[in-house]
Structure 1
Amino acid sequence: MSRVRCLLHGLDFRAIFFLFLIFPAGIFAIYCHGQKITYFLRPLWQSPPKPFIPITHYYNENVSMPTLCKLHGWGVREFPRRVYDAVLFSNEIDMLTIRWKELYPYITRFVLLESNSTFTALPKPLNFKVNREKFKFIEPRLSYGEIGGRFRKGENPFVEEAYQRLALDQLLRVAGIEDDDLLIMSDVDEIPSRHTIDLLRWCDDIPDVLHLELRNYLYSFEFQLSHKSWRASIHRYQRGKTKYAHYRQTDYLLSDSGWHCSFCFRYISDFIFKMKAYSHTDRVRFSHFLSPKRIQDIICKGADLYDMLPEEYTFKDIIGRMGPIPHSFSAVHLPSYLLENADQYKYLLPGNCLRERN
């Protein structure tokens, strides 16, 4: 005790204040907001990716296909290519319906693979199999597959994701895909517009691989993000070369090619499931992030579920995009099936942020 008294006697009030209040508070702040600090300082340690080469996208419903192909600098074919739409499925029943209704006229084969495991090794039901009756309209053109999860706890979720995408490659071959067929590689909620697919199946000399620039939405078509989505891609299939992936595969980007509606769920429980299930589960830093009341409040505000800063590469972009997403009241040029069935999918349209609890 005498040694402690001597130590304290040698410290002035400012040192004691720093040691017992400021220093612990700083540690706690870093614990709570360390991810924000890292994202804000991103411009100091990471350079922006190489910019895409944008391809101007021409379309009007009254313009002929030969004219549209010519405007893009491409020739026109005597007959259209076959098109395969391949997805990994988790639980997005509504988005899958809207996607397949949008693409139905131009898809040769719908290919869907689902697993009894999430990317994070959590067990899950085979949701498509349970709801398959709802998709009778594509049954004659459906190639469906199931794959058992590996259930390796603690493994990087991207390993399980890659494992499932490799299995989807095999299912595509079983489905009969051939060289020069078009293959759409995108998540269920990344929906190409039907006129984009029609253009690419009719035009000759298109690039072997194209990324599709999609209008980017969060929670519904009320909250449009300022930056575009680019991970969706379309490929002229080449056996032994084309591999199903969800990362950058070319520099070419076809402008305004569809919609990406992320976390666009009907039920609060689906938000919670995805937050725990997908590859970025590390973003759920605290248990209260999964509170249904908190999730509902965030949906209506257009804020971030993970309380993160924007993933940008300049301080100007980070600061400019901080805060909630502005509300949009435009429902112009959305998927036609969505608008034709607005009563059924009301929660996806502007002014309807309240979600159901099941």
Structure 2
Amino acid sequence: MVNSELDLLEIRLDTLYNYVDYFIIIESPKTFQGDEKPLVIKENWARFRHYHDKIIYHELSFPSSFEPHRAWDYEDLQRDAMYDQVMPGLTGAQAPHKGDVMIVADVDEIPRPETLLVLRSCNYPRRLTLASKFYYYSFQFLHDGPDWPHPQATYYQGWRTLSPTNLRNGDGGFRLTRDGEKGVLGKAAWHCSSCFPTLAQFLNNIASFSHGWMNRDEYRDKDRIAAAVRGGTDLWERDTETFTRIDKNTDIPPMVLREPERFGYMTSRDGPSAGFTDYP
């Protein structure tokens, strides 16, 4: 599921291209608040030409029965579109088969290549959490506390396949057997939240949050955002969100290491600009 994170999408495609059969990318023409937004992947399609042969792109459609009452309804619709809107129409080599590995992830949740090798080679629980090292703003700031409990992996079972939303939320299926179907694979992925090269993208991301309170005016102040990103502190001043600084981090996706001139903001937020190309 992708909003506007083009750099992260390219990094994800590069990291996993040799380890997956297909990437299903769902892009919505609306934010989680129901406002119109540009289709940035579609508009920048040529940027990803090296990966086109493995990309299944889908623009989210809104069924006539869709009556959203909360922001989460938009998010659930987009997440489940992989199963409801895309997979039923796949044919030939793209068609799913029973036992196929399925990973449900946001674009900023990037499994490690080794994780894909494990999933393709071994049996695993129907509800497998790929625990992610949790970074904020860049790979310079590691979130204190437990790993990020996403993305999730399952396998295709025809009509019995868990929906992406049920898989991510840990519900659906048979209640009595849920706990027995769960498992966790540690150090399986990277998660880089709010990792943007521009303040404009950062602000756009805030506007799209399902949590509306995070988009209040005081949290959209550019100087305040830059100070938080530069210092590795939580923009929303939540007591539970603290970070440990890691300079010259090398446990990061390979493309970030290979191309520091392009992705330097993902390894260092130091300096007056806080790594943003459009600030101050």
| TM-score of the aligned structures, taking structure 2 as reference length | 0.85
Q: Could you list the per-position Cα deviations for residues 8-57 of structure 1 after superposition, in whole angstroms to 9, with x for gaps in the alignment? A: xxxxxxxxxxxxxxxxxxxxxxxxxxxxxxxxxxxxxxxxxxxxxxxxxx
CA distance in 1, matches of 2:268, 2:6: 20
CA RMSD of aligned residues (A): 2.1
1:138 offset after TM fit, Å? 1.5
1:283 is matched with which residue? 214
* Contact map agreement 2:4 2:41 (CA 8 A) in 1: yes
| Residue 356 in structure 1 maps to residue 277 in structure 2 | yes
2:100 to 181, 184, 200: 181
1:229 to 148, 152, 155: 148
Q: How does 1:104-253 map to 2 (within 5 A)?
A: 104-148=17-61, 155-169=69-83, 170-175=85-90, 176-203=95-122, 205-226=123-144, 227-241=146-160, 242-245=162-165, 246-248=168-170, 251-253=182-184
CA distance in 2, matches of 1:156, 1:108: 34
| Counterpart residue type for residue 163 of structure 2 | K
* Contact map agreement 2:126 2:182 (CA 8 A) in 1: no
| Counterpart residue type for residue 174 of structure 1 | G
Q: Which runs of 5+ in 1 are unaligned?
A: 1-87, 311-320
Moved over 4 A (4+): none
1:330 offset after TM fit, Å? 4.2
| Residue 269 in structure 1 maps to residue 269 in structure 2 | no
**Which has the higher Rg, Structure 1 or Structure 2?**
1
* Contact map agreement 2:28 2:59 (CA 8 A) in 1: yes
Query: SS at the partner of 2:141?
Result: coil
Query: SS at the partner of 1:355?
Result: coil
Q: Which runs of 5+ in 2 are unaligned?
A: 172-180
Alignment identity in percent? 26
* Contact map agreement 2:111 2:188 (CA 8 A) in 1: yes
Question: CA separation of 1:233/1:141 partners in 2, compared to 1, >3 Å: closer, same or farther?
Answer: same
CA distance in 2, matches of 1:154, 1:135: 32
Q: Alignment length, in residue pairs? A: 256
| TM-score of the aligned structures, taking structure 1 as reference length | 0.67
* Contact map agreement 1:329 1:351 (CA 8 A) in 2: no
CA distance in 1, matches of 2:20, 2:88: 16
1:148 offset after TM fit, Å? 4.2
* Contact map agreement 2:125 2:182 (CA 8 A) in 1: no
1:302 offset after TM fit, Å? 1.1
Query: SS at the partner of 1:122?
Result: coil
CA distance in 2, matches of 1:172, 1:278: 27
More moved, 222-231 vs 347-356: 347-356
CA distance in 1, matches of 2:244, 2:184: 26
